[in-house]
């Protein structure tokens, strides 16, 4: 064709499309805000849930998922809630079992001193354990030493769980510290850190099994046996344990996996994540409607400019592209700001929780892409209206 054509260079489409947002900065910021809130919510929710989940999973892998707890269940004939005395030793003979540790109940109360009434137990219990307990549970000693250091001592000594220490008012062991267990004063030689996989031990004061039997007439029948199993053989071993622990009444033995609780917690957080993602998507949608609204107003307000551009030689397509570019730019601005805000929020909150920050790439990438799509969709109708405006009508304003 030899006829003159109207041409708008690609760089000029961007220049023209950004002229509106640049000329009205506060309106641009406000109209992009809705989308940025939505994107920030999506990125933040994904980042926080992944970070907290990774924190749980880190903890899990540190503690191991190969710990089983064997407890005496309620017997059919009203069983006494204890496993046979030989349970731990029998379980230890299963080839895939790495380590066992048992806890026996002691019928005595623990108090700070003899002057405290015996009825005030503070919810604390006394148990007898072997020296491997902390090891089996991947626990650690906060202050002092573990029970096994005193295995050969003729005197009973105690180690206190983290909550028990707090309730008994023990903060350090710089001075020799004693607690009243039953009628005896017993020296505290260690304070333990929190057991994530056996929270009830945090509220216990532990003494050696021999001492428990000798001094408090405790039965040597364990209430709980903790079993550390070879990694990868947990399920197979689990099936064997009940019968091994109590061959006569295997149905009275409960075998559980404490790490399942943490896994369930992680799964539960995932379902919350879906809820918040849904809310973020709603915010994003509202933001998109906001952009569409602002664009429709812009088209009405700028009829004169549209008419002028048509008079200067813009085709309908040029006008359409201009307004579409403008609305996509709003989406990009909102999306970009939202991604940055979402990441900052994730870092800030993770820092307060001491979590390792994990931001799944789908958050920022998907969020940004959807912001662009939303900008384009929101601008489609206003851009068509702008393009369809006849130049004569547009210039009449």
Partner 1 sequence: MSALTQAARTETTPPHSVRAALHMRNVVKEFPGSPPVRALDDVSVRIDHGELVAVVGPSGSGKSTMLNVMGTLDRPTSGIVEIDGVDTASLPDKHIAGIRARKIGFVFQQFFLLDGMSTVDNVTNGLLYQGVPPAERHDRAIEALKTVGLGHRLNHRPNKLSGGERQRVAVARALVHRPAFVLADEPTGNLDSKSSAAVMDLIRELNDLGTTIVVITHDNAIAEALPRRVAVLDGRILDDSGRPS
Burial (CB < 10 A; 0-12, 13-18, 19+), residue 189, is: buried
Nearest Cα neighbor of 270 from 54, 119, 12, 58 is 54
CB atoms within 10 A of CB 261: 13
CB-nearer residue toward partner 1: 240 or 395: 395
Burial (CB < 10 A; 0-12, 13-18, 19+), residue 375, is: buried
Q: Interface residues with partner 1 (CB under 8 A)?
A: 1-9, 11-12, 15-16, 19-20, 22-24, 304-305, 307-318, 390-392, 395
Are the C-beta atoms of 157 and 188 separated by less than 8 Å? Answer: yes
* Alpha carbon distance 314, 324 (integer Å): 15
Reading the block at residue 158, the tokens are 């105690």
| Residue 148, C-beta contacts closer than 8 angstroms, at least 6 positions apart | 130, 131, 132
What value, to the nearest 5°, has the Cα angle with vertex 81 and ends 206 and 195? 35
Residue 10 C-beta: closest distance to partner 1, Å: 10
CB-nearer residue toward partner 1: 293 or 316: 316
CB atoms within 10 A of CB 337: 19
Nearest Cα neighbor of 87 from 216, 257, 207, 254 is 254
Reading the block at residue 115, the tokens are 């002057």
Residue 357 C-beta: closest distance to partner 1, Å: 41
CB-nearer residue toward partner 1: 32 or 314: 314
Are the C-beta atoms of 39 and 371 separated by less than 8 Å? Answer: yes
How far, in Å, are 203, 253, 274, 348 from residue 243 at the CA level? 30, 8, 42, 51
CB-nearer residue toward partner 1: 23 or 120: 23
- Give φ, ψ of 278 to 5 degrees: -60, -45
Residue 7 C-beta: closest distance to partner 1, Å: 3
CB-nearer residue toward partner 1: 33 or 308: 308
Residue 299 C-beta: closest distance to partner 1, Å: 15
* Alpha carbon distance 102, 221 (integer Å): 9
Residue 340 C-beta: closest distance to partner 1, Å: 26
* Alpha carbon distance 207, 157 (integer Å): 6
Q: DSSP class of residue 356?
A: P
Residue 12 C-beta: closest distance to partner 1, Å: 6
* Alpha carbon distance 360, 51 (integer Å): 9
CB-nearer residue toward partner 1: 5 or 352: 5
Q: DSSP class of residue 197?
A: S
CB-nearer residue toward partner 1: 199 or 395: 395
Reading the block at residue 185, the tokens are 């004063």
Nearest Cα neighbor of 136 from 151, 123, 147, 125 is 147
């Amino acid at each position: 064709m030899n006829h003159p054509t109207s041409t708008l260079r690609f760089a000029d489409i961007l220049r023209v499309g950004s002229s509106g947002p640049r000329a009205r900065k506060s309106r641009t910021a406000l109209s992009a805000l809705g989308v940025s809130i939505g994107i920030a919510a999506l990125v933040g929710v994904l980042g926080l849930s992944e970070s907290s989940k990774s924190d749980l999973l880190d903890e899990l892998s540190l503690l191991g998922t190969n710990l089983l707890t064997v407890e005496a269940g309620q017997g059919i004939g009203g069983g006494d809630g204890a496993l046979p005395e030989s349970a731990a030793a029998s379980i230890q003979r299963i080839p895939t079992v790495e380590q066992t540790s048992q806890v026996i109940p002691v019928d005595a109360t623990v108090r700070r001193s003899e002057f405290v009434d015996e009825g005030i137990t503070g919810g604390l219990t006394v148990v007898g354990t072997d020296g491997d307990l902390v090891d089996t549970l991947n626990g650690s000693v906060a202050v002092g030493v573990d029970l096994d250091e005193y295995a050969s001592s003729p005197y009973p000594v105690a180690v206190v769980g983290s909550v028990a220490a707090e309730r008994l008012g023990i903060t350090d062991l710089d001075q020799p510290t004693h607690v009243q267990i039953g009628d005896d004063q017993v020296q505290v030689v260690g304070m333990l850190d929190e057991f994530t996989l056996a929270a009830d031990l945090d509220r216990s004061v532990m003494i050696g099994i021999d001492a428990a039997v000798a001094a408090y007439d405790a039965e040597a029948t364990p209430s709980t046996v903790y079993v550390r199993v070879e990694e990868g053989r947990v399920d197979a071993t689990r099936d064997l344990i009940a019968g091994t622990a109590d061959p006569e009444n295997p149905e009275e033995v409960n075998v559980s996996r404490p790490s399942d609780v943490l896994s369930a917690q992680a799964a539960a957080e995932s379902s919350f994540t879906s809820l918040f993602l849904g809310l973020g998507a709603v915010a994003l949608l509202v933001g998109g409607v906001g952009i569409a609204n602002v664009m429709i107003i812009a088209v009405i307000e700028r009829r004169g400019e549209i008419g002028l551009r048509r008079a200067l030689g813009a085709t309908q397509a040029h006008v359409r592209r201009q307004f579409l570019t403008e609305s996509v730019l709003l989406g990009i601005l909102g999306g970009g700001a939202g991604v940055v805000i979402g990441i900052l929020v994730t870092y800030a909150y993770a820092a307060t929780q001491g979590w390792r920050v994990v931001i799944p790439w789908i958050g920022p990438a998907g969020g940004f892409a959807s912001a662009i799509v939303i900008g384009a969709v929101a601008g489609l109708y206003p851009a068509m209206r702008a393009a369809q405006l006849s130049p004569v009508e547009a210039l009449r304003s």
